[in-house]
Amino acid sequence: MLRKLDYGLLSVTPNTFSETTGANAATGTVTRNTPTTSALTVNLSSGNPGEAMPATPTVTIPAGATSATFQVNAVDDTEVDGSQSIILTASASGFQAGTDNLTVTDDESKLTLSITPGSFSEATGASAATGTVTRNTDTTAALTVNLSSGDASEAVPAVASVTILAGQSSATFQINAVDDAVVDGSQSIVLIASATGFPSAVDTVTVTDDDTPELTLLVSPNQFNEGAGSNAATGTVTRNTDTTAALSVTLSSNDPGEATVPISVMIPAGAASKTFAVQAVNDTVADGPQSVVLSASASGHTTGTAVITVTDNERAASSASATTVRQVHRKSKTMVRKSNDRTTVASKSATLTFNPDQTAKSFTVAVNGETLAEPDEMFQVNLSGAVNATIFDSQGVGIIITNDDSVALALVLVSPKPSSVTLSGAAMESSSGSMQLLANGSLFVIPTQQSPTGAAGGNNSLAKPSDS
């Protein structure tokens, strides 16, 4: 009765190797499950000695031992025959033979990879180059080739694999350039093609850099009230250059009367960015929302900027609803000049409607003259109820002083020009005026000359609105 070698029979490790590995390409282990009183000689053989064979024709399991090892040699046959499956056999008299399978890959079976062009800019994007993978083996069956990149942040195959069709020896695929937004110079990238039974094929491409050293500046939130204090917002300055060394960054504000930043910050070595506090400044001036430009600069880098809006807390916010938000420019004051007679402004409400492409409107306000001696007085023109626009500066302030000059009213509204704006105003004077849309997008309301009602010989002259 034949007895089996141990249940493991014959095992070989590793069970896949190249024919170029040569001697000692793998180690075989033969095990018996019988009494170990005496030694046991085991015969070894290969099903294809042209690919792999035991280093010795026999191996002896010593007395007292259950197993023995032996070496397996790879044989380079110089033929393009692809991967070969080999059966090794261990046999002994009175025992059932033990077998194990192993795979010998062919070093004559090759894939080649070529890429054209061999250099391209990271800004090229998709299909920056074309790769061609070629096999030198039999083309009877299709062959799937896996594709990969040594640095996917610079260049990457457009597909994970490509199939060389049956009857074909090659296939092409696209390579995409990746713009990493980092100043890192030209990079050499290795692309890899691999398939079962073939050694991997590689080719190298050069990806040139399109980035320039620059700083970017972000502020969050980008709008806050002037009363928000020393930590009104957080700024983050980021560099796109090498982080090996620290980088000193100079910070500035174009309007320190509204918002301030530290003089400088240091981006530490190993870091790409640094945060800092943005401080709101309460100027106690009713100047409406103000746009402030913050800047971050460093030697050899393009300056980064961020625009923030500092809202005013000297005046209640407008209650107007809007479907379009526009930037506030600057609030202007109105000067009303009169004779020694007392004048007052009659309370009145009116509605102005701007049709599409209309840039000017006229209106009339009533000024009532008096003969009482009194100090200068202030009055307001209020804007509310805007449709298709947002009113950021909802009030114009007028001053009635005792001389013979005329009314000059200036209100800065919103820009750019809306398709249709409807505004209602209150406390208007007895001057007719027009609204003029300036080249910078600001809308000014300027009354024409007219004597106040009830004024004693008043002589009104037009005064240009101030920017304060």
The answer on pLDDT for 93 being more than 90 is: no
What's the mean pLDDT when you consider all of the chain? 78
Q: How do beta strands 119-121 and 421-426 pair?
A: unpaired
| Of 280-294, 300-314, 418-432, minimum mean pLDDT range | 418-432
**Assigned token pair, 366:** 């009533």
Q: What is the pLDDT of residues 270-297, one digit of tens each?
A: 999 999 999 999 988 888 899 999 999 9
Q: What is the pLDDT of residue 442?
A: 42
d(CA 294, CA 311): 16
Tens digit of each residue's pLDDT (9 = 90 or more) over 155-198: 999 999 999 999 999 999 999 999 887 888 888 999 999 998 88
> What is d(CA 257, CA 468) in angstroms, rounded to the nearest whole number?
14
**Least confident stretch, 2-6, 70-74, 116-120:** 2-6
Which position has the higher pLDDT, 207 or 349?
A: 207
Q: What is the pLDDT of residue 296?
A: 96
Q: Do domains 3-105 and 111-208 have the same CATH topology?
A: yes
- pLDDT higher than 80, residue 327: no
- From residue 264, give the alpha-carbon distance in Å to each of 237, 248, 252, 276, 296: 11, 7, 8, 9, 8
Amino acid at 65: A
3-state helix, strand, coil in the chain (%, to 5): 0, 50, 45
Q: Which residues of 434-468 are buried (b: 16+ CB within 10 A; e: fewer)?
A: ebebeeeebbbbbbeebbbebbeebebebbebeee
Domain chopping of the chain, boundaries: 3-105, 111-208, 215-311, 327-447
* Higher pLDDT pick, 219 / 344: 219
Structure confidence at residue 468 (pLDDT): 40
Return the CATH class of domain 215-311: mainly beta
- Write out pLDDT tens, residues 426-455: 333 333 444 544 444 444 444 444 434 333
Vertex 382 angle, CA 381 and 384, to 5°:
150
Per CATH, is 3-105 categorized as 2.60.120.10? no
Omega before 14 cis (within 30°)?
yes
CATH number attached to the domain at 111-208: 2.60.40.2030
Confidence of residue 242 (pLDDT cuts 50, 70, 90): confident
